[in-house]
Amino acid sequence: MSAPETESHTDSLGLLIHDAARLMRRRFEERAVTYGLSSAQFRLLVRLVKDEGAPQARLAEFLEIEPISVSRLLDRMEEGGWIERRPDASDRRVRMVFPTAKSRETYGAIKSMAGEVYDEALSGLSAETRDILMAGLRTIRGNLAAADERVAAASQNSTKVAGR
């Protein structure tokens, strides 16, 4: 057993996931500095290339940061020529965010570099172990997402009952 006998699996799971994510993020940022993007900016860029025209509020939710923080992040990305903001056609108060040609051109190279970081993180694991790890993490994510949905639904139901 790799964990000390006194440490339970539930105590170490969160720490291992957090530490692995932190170290991968640090490694990514060390390599991404040549592009001038932080890991948050890279995640945002990937999201925008896949989902063009996302509202700023949805991007804040995606990154799990406050809207003012995403606004500052977008300011820096706009200054760097990575994104363009436009008013929404149906609601001028809403700002829609689009990737620029620079983002689309750089996307492949950055994604390839991220793949190299992932390969570095997974080195020493057999293909079967990698598949098992990914399946396990997907299951964990699915379990927790389902729990979040149940809590949100229960909260909405209790709000509706209280509002009667």
Percent of the chain with pLDDT over 70: 90
Q: Amino acid letter at 137?
A: L
C-alpha distances (whole Å) from 18 to each of 11, 66, 72, 157 are 12, 21, 25, 33
* Mean pLDDT within 94-115: 90
Contacts of 37 (CB under 8 A, 6+ apart): 45, 82, 110
User: pLDDT tens digits for 35-70?
Assistant: 888 878 888 888 888 888 888 888 888 888 888 888
Distant-in-sequence, close-in-space partners of 7: CB < 8 Å, separation ≥ 6: none
CA distance 139 to 129: 15
Residues 6+ apart with CB under 8 A from 47: 54, 59, 62
- What does the pLDDT look like over 60-99, one tens digit per residue? 888 888 888 889 999 999 999 999 999 988 888 888 999 9
Report the Cα–Cα distance between both ends of the chain, in Å, rounded.
55
Of 67 and 126, the one with more pLDDT = 126
